């Protein structure tokens, strides 16, 4: 009798349909478990599998190095050695040679800009940060922040030499001394977003979020903006705002102007907070 009922159910398609529905339901549930996706406010999506290998850092040392000759690499290495000993003129001469040998390689241009900055030659520093940006439009170390700040210095919006002074503060190893200096910096130059980025690191809770928001209000360069947003995501995630945090991080990942460094860090943070 049971076999007869089963046969009738199969004949009219009911049993087969039920089996297929159960199978499809199980498959959908399995897919949902396997593929976890994050979306930003524009609907861009990225899966957890796509970010699981993120390291949080982008190795700019190898950016654009494909096809660069051994001669260019050798000239660049020699230049860096002279720069470290304070022989800036020899460093510049070698960097210029490296640039001629590999004009589309960002590293010699970036180091030229930095070497001129150390000598207070802000005009040439700006020139070479611009050239760096042209060959590395997605950022090269701190090129975006440097270029944006030096342009503001040139226009008179910021005090000349501000970026160089800011770098000195970043290099302070004593944390209490560094905090004291950065506090003075934000008081004297409140429109300088990178200082708020550094200052927020010394704060906790709502105070940290407030400092981050203050930095975002100052029209930061894309590099600083990305770091501020990533830090904001970390801060609000601690407050239980996981969904909002993931949207911020995903927006950094999909922003066409984001630097490679920020994209990699945003992926790393997104992966880590999703494991908590």
Instruction: Report pLDDT digits (tens) over 194-220.
Output: 999 999 999 999 999 999 999 999 999
Give DSSP secondary structure letters for 166-180. HHHHHT---HHHHHH
Burial of 210: CB neighbours in 10 Å, binned 0-12, 13-18, 19+: middle
Give DSSP secondary structure letters for 103-168. TT-HHHHHHHHHHHHHTT-HHHHHHHHHHHHHH-TT--TTHHHHHHHHHHHHHTSS-TTHHHHHHH
- pLDDT given at position 169: 92
- pLDDT given at position 35: 54
How many Cα neighbours within 13 Å face the side chain of 61? 3
- pLDDT given at position 276: 67
Q: What is the mean pLDDT of residues 94-113?
A: 98
Contacts of 190 (CB under 8 A, 6+ apart): 214, 218
Q: How far is CA 190 from CA 71, 72, 83, 133, 153, in A?
A: 45, 41, 33, 26, 15
Q: Where are the alpha helices (DSSP H) in 189-259?
A: 193-200, 205-216, 222-238, 242-254
pTM of the model: 0.84
pLDDT in tens, 145-165: 999 999 999 999 999 999 999
Contacts of 230 (CB under 8 A, 6+ apart): 248, 249, 252, 262, 265, 266, 269
Residue position matching structure tokens 């209000």: 217
Residue position matching structure tokens 């302070």: 172
Q: What is the mean pLDDT of residues 65-90?
A: 97
């Amino acid at each position: 009798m049971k076999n007869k009922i089963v046969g009738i159910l199969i004949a009219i398609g009911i049993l087969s349909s039920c089996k297929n529905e159960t199978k499809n339901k199980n498959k959908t549930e399995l897919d949902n478990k396997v593929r976890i996706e994050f979306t930003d406010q524009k609907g861009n999506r990225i899966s957890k599998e796509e970010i699981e290998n993120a390291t949080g850092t982008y190795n700019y040392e190898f950016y654009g190095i494909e096809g660069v000759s051994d001669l260019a690499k050798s000239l660049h290495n020699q230049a860096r050695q002279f720069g470290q000993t304070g022989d800036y003129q020899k460093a510049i001469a070698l960097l210029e040679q490296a640039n001629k040998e590999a004009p589309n390689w960002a590293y010699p241009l970036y180091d030229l800009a930095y070497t001129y900055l150390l000598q207070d030659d802000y005009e040439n520093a700006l020139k070479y940060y611009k050239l760096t940006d042209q060959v590395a439009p997605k950022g090269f170390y701190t090129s975006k922040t440097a270029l944006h700040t030096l342009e503001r210095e040139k226009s008179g919006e910021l005090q000349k030499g501000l970026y160089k002074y800011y770098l000195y503060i970043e290099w302070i190893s004593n944390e209490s001394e560094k905090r004291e200096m950065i506090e003075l910096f934000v008081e004297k130059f409140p429109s300088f977003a990178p200082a708020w980025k550094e200052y927020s690191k010394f704060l906790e809770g709502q105070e940290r979020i407030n400092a981050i928001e203050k930095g975002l209000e100052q029209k930061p360069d894309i590099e600083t903006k990305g770091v501020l947003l990533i830090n904001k995501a970390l801060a609000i995630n601690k407050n239980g705002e996981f969904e909002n945090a993931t949207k911020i991080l995903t927006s950094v990942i999909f922003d066409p102007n984001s630097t490679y460094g920020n994209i990699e860090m945003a992926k790393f943070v997104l992966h880590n907070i999703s494991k908590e």
